[in-house]
Chain A
Amino acid sequence: MAAKQLRSERTAEWLTRAVLVGLAALWMIPLVWIVTMSFKPNDVLMMSTAGLLPIPFTLKNFNDIFFVSMTPRWLFNSTVVALGTTALTLVVASLAGYAFARLDFPFKRTLFIVVLAGLMVPEQALVIPLHSVITSWDMHNTHFALMAPRVALPVGVFLMTQFFKAVPKELEEAAALDNASRFTIFRRIMLPLSIPALVTLGIYTFLHSWNDFFWPLVSATNTNMYTITVGLASLQGNFAQTEGLGFIMATAVFASLPIVVVYLIFQKYLVRGVALSTGK
């Protein structure tokens, strides 16, 4: 009886695994396809893009990216902007989140509603006024202009507020009994606890900032200030989708590599963050 139960449990487990592997493979197919195309010659892709194996194989598309003398500079710009935005966002969001969760100050509710309202404003609606403001400061083509508009991220403040609200008050009260100041409580107790949430927010912000195309396009308008997204796009000839498909795919793979690496390093924190938020 027990053996039979064990067997059916294991069958169910294998079945679930098989389904999940199948689904994962299905989701991976487009990614594999893009990588395959990035290793195929442009003229072969002009005839057909079918096939998941990179035959005939070529490194020319990637070579063409590295051959461009501006690529390191564009990578540098993207890295500075993405890392800078992430660091600043984490600082601002965690401080604001703690304030909204634990401190009492006038107009707290109104301010929180205003922050939430920011979640509903699409980025595109802000581009023109933002551009005018930065023009009046004469600060286009700087890393500052690329970072600053992204730092006050409503979703970041919201995430951290909700996280801090869920932390039991007893932890802070215990620290307060030991004469710990507000800031010490924040720094020594709350921040370490919030690492999973911070990592989640950090990855989200980094990804968003790294992938950003439109704002760098209109603010960083000089070639040496292009981010990697705008820079690699600017290399495309007019008929890239017919005659340069391999190159486009290679730029997509190349530009996404840092994100994949970041995700692979931090993924266990992400999982922990999700697990924490579901209370398991």
Chain B
Amino acid sequence: MLKKSILSLLLSGALVAPGAAIAQTKTEISFLRFFGGCADEYANVTDLDKAVGECGVIQVLTNKFNAENKDGIKVNTQNVDWNAYYDLLSTKLASNEAPDVAVMHRSTLPNFVARDLIEPIGEDLSKAGVDLNDFAKTAREAVTYENKTWGLPFDIHALLWHVNVDIMKEAGLVDASGAPIIPKNAQEVFEQAKIVKEKTGKRYMSMDARNDAMPVRVFNMLMWQQGADVFSAETGKPTINTPEGKKALDFIQKVYKDGLAVPTHGNGESSQSFLRGEAAVAVNGTWAVNNFSNQAASGKAGFKTYAVADFPPIFGKATWSDSHMWVMPKKNRTPEQKAAAITFLKYLNDNGISWAKTGHLPVRTSVLQSDVFAKLPFRSSYAQTAQMARAVPMVQNQRPAQDAMRDSFGAALLTDKSTGDALAEAQSKVERLFRRVR
């Protein structure tokens, strides 16, 4: 009896031991992101040419890393939908289940740094061979807060000027080469709108007035174009209710009130309207380039020729941007896990050009200036955007501030509320929000 039980114990030990040995050579790291779930669609796919869209590219990159890395690292992906991402990340951090690598926006970084929830990784990245000097200025700023580097920049996404060239041609607003004429100031925007309406009967612009806080992004951009800013990083106070703010919001209000764009349109409606060929121009981001160009090329859209350009200098040269980056939340991880996470990050950085397929701008100057990037369709027409991209200063509570501004500005676009009242309301709401920062 005893012999039998010792034998079975030895046998089970013998079975477990090789299994344990194999398990130990694989360092597993957890990877939390949005961008959608397509693990099944791209199961075992490691060919980047087959990747389509944000989900496709990041999933294939992860698959490729898992299949090809020689350090025995396995990356386990968890995806969350974009809207709920920060709720889930925060609760994972609160319940001691921090992921090893997580995506983050530049606009939310300060909140996490202020609560001591992520690790500075500048030195680790340098040691692993990531050239921090290769990053474009905006990208470098995106991950820097309180003089430390908190993440690996992955992209810059910015606002662009998407054009339905068919309408512009019909209105006679194209140059000799057939490229659309981009307005050079605010006045020209309204002049072009008038011409388009007269010659084609179509609307000039398609711009989301409610979702994704687009009016706030445009407002911020118009402030930067005037050389002003929405928040002061030094004083920590908003500077919304200012003469520059009035000029910016007045412009946006005029666009809607004069019928250039529809104030009841959200993100979906404004894109639909543009794709149906109802507007000459769409104010949308780098993320829409692929979708708009593919739809136009497919013949299913309401227009055939698509073009895109840097955002016009309405009041000056600047465009709104935000950034995706990868951060390492704080956790009691083993040195192997930390090294594994850094190795994965370096891999993502080395393959940044693949992410450019999504329409977002790469963050490395060497990639931005490369032939491969130049060959990607339409990218050369908005190459300047990386240089003129601006973002909100590194203050906490950017997202709640954005929501407060969106609600106040929305009233000025949809009702009779004056821009002065909207600005005053936004200013006081944001001042109250900023009093709650750590």
Contact of A43 with B300 in the complex, beta carbons under 8 Å: yes
Contact of A221 with B300 in the complex, beta carbons under 8 Å: no
Q: Which of A44, A217, A222 contacts B87 (CB 8 A)?
A: A217
Contact of B78 with A238 in the complex, beta carbons under 8 Å: no
- Interface members, chain B 19-40 (any A CB < 8 Å): 34-40
| Interface-located stretch among B91-99, B146-154, B363-371, B400-408 | B91-99
Residue of A nearest to B294 (CB): A43
Q: List A contacts of B136 (CB < 8 A).
A: none
Contact of B35 with A237 in the complex, beta carbons under 8 Å: yes
Contact of A135 with B94 in the complex, beta carbons under 8 Å: yes
Cα of A239 to Cα of B294 in the assembled complex, Å: 15
Q: Is A83 an interface residue (CB 8 A)?
A: no
Q: List B contacts of A132 (CB < 8 A).
A: 94
Contact of B91 with A131 in the complex, beta carbons under 8 Å: yes
Cα of A35 to Cα of B80 in the assembled complex, Å: 25
Cα of A222 to Cα of B276 in the assembled complex, Å: 41
Contact of B95 with A135 in the complex, beta carbons under 8 Å: yes
Q: Is B88 an interface residue (CB 8 A)?
A: yes
Chain B: minimal CB distance from A244 (Å):
8
List the count of A-B residue pairs having beta carbons below 8 Å apart: 100
Q: Is A234 an interface residue (CB 8 A)?
A: yes
| Interface-located stretch among B215-223, B266-274, B334-342, B412-420 | B266-274
Residues 227-243 of A, flagged 1 when their CB comes within 8 A of B and 0 if not, give 00010011111111111
Residue of B nearest to A45 (CB): B272
A221 touching B92 in the complex, CB below 8 Å, given contacts A43-B300, A233-B81, A241-B267: yes
Residue of A nearest to B53 (CB): A237
Q: Is A151 an interface residue (CB 8 A)?
A: no
Q: How many of chain B's residues touch chain A, expressed as a range? A: 35 or more
Q: List A contacts of B97 (CB < 8 A).
A: 140, 221-222
Contact of B81 with A49 in the complex, beta carbons under 8 Å: no
Cα of A217 to Cα of B39 in the assembled complex, Å: 20
Contact of B78 with A242 in the complex, beta carbons under 8 Å: no
A217 touching B268 in the complex, CB below 8 Å, given contacts A46-B275, A235-B37: no
Chain B: minimal CB distance from A74 (Å):
11
Cα of A47 to Cα of B303 in the assembled complex, Å: 11
Q: Is A183 an interface residue (CB 8 A)?
A: no
Interface size on A, residues (CB 8 A): 36
Chain B: minimal CB distance from A73 (Å):
13
Q: List A contacts of B41 (CB < 8 A).
A: 64, 67
Q: Which of B53, B54, B91 contacts A221 (CB 8 A)?
A: B91
A242 touching B271 in the complex, CB below 8 Å, given contacts A46-B295, A47-B276, A235-B36: yes
List 16 additional contacts besides A46-B275, A235-B81; criterion CB under 8 Å: A46-B271, A46-B272, A47-B276, A47-B301, A48-B276, A64-B41, A131-B95, A217-B88, A218-B87, A221-B95, A233-B83, A234-B37, A236-B37, A237-B36, A237-B53, A241-B211
Q: List A contacts of B84 (CB < 8 A).
A: 213, 217, 230, 233
Q: List A contacts of B78 (CB < 8 A).
A: 222-223
Q: Which of B34, B87, B266, B300 contacts A47 (CB 8 A)?
A: B300
Contact of B287 with A238 in the complex, beta carbons under 8 Å: yes
Contact of B96 with A135 in the complex, beta carbons under 8 Å: yes
Chain B: minimal CB distance from A37 (Å):
12
Cα of A44 to Cα of B95 in the assembled complex, Å: 43
Cα of A234 to Cα of B301 in the assembled complex, Å: 29
Q: List B contacts of A48 (CB < 8 A).
A: 272, 276
Q: Which of B40, B82, B287 contacts A69 (CB 8 A)?
A: B40
Cα of A117 to Cα of B178 in the assembled complex, Å: 69
Cα of A47 to Cα of B287 in the assembled complex, Å: 17
Chain B: minimal CB distance from A62 (Å):
15
Q: List B contacts of A78 (CB < 8 A).
A: none
Q: List B contacts of A218 (CB < 8 A).
A: 87-88, 91
Q: List A contacts of B54 (CB < 8 A).
A: 237-238
Cα of A214 to Cα of B90 in the assembled complex, Å: 13
Cα of A214 to Cα of B87 in the assembled complex, Å: 9
Cα of A44 to Cα of B272 in the assembled complex, Å: 10
Cα of A243 to Cα of B275 in the assembled complex, Å: 12
A68 touching B272 in the complex, CB below 8 Å, given contacts A47-B301, A131-B94, A135-B96: no
Contact of B291 with A239 in the complex, beta carbons under 8 Å: yes
Q: List B contacts of A49 (CB < 8 A).
A: 272
Cα of A68 to Cα of B298 in the assembled complex, Å: 28
Q: Is A147 an interface residue (CB 8 A)?
A: no
Give 19 A-B contacts (CB < 8 Å), ordered by A residue.
A46-B291, A47-B272, A67-B41, A131-B94, A140-B95, A217-B84, A218-B91, A221-B95, A221-B97, A233-B84, A234-B79, A235-B36, A235-B81, A236-B36, A237-B36, A239-B287, A242-B268, A242-B271, A242-B288
